[in-house]
Amino acid sequence: MRSRHFEITYCLNGSRRMFVQPDVHMTDEDAWYYACLHAGVGLLYGEDVAQQNGAQLRGHAEKSGLTHVKWEELP
């Protein structure tokens, strides 16, 4: 599969941030996971459970000040 590029935006403690993430696909849960990694929000290394459980991941992110995650594919 060909890698595509996705722009992910989020707010961390009220500050808007943006980055570009290469991947073959993107979902809302993926975007939240990548935003956590980009923001330095603590996730346990190798723990895929958080990425699979969107509600748990989102709750953890929001408690850490990370909100408003949005993504779109770049042309």
Tens of pLDDT, residue by residue over 24-68, are 999 999 999 999 999 998 765 555 554 457 888 898 899 999 999
- Quote the number of domains for the chain: 1
Q: Provide the domain limits for residue 19.
A: 4-73
pLDDT at residue 2, rounded to an integer: 83
| Distant-in-sequence contacts of 3-7, Cβ < 8 A, 24+ apart | 4/73, 4/74, 5/73, 5/74, 6/31, 6/71, 6/72, 6/73, 6/74, 7/71, 7/72, 7/73, 7/74
C-alpha distances in Å from residue 72, one per residue of 6, 30, 53, 63: 6, 12, 21, 24
pLDDT at residue 52, rounded to an integer: 57
The better pLDDT of the pair 13, 41 is held by 13
pLDDT at residue 60, rounded to an integer: 86
- Model pTM? 0.84
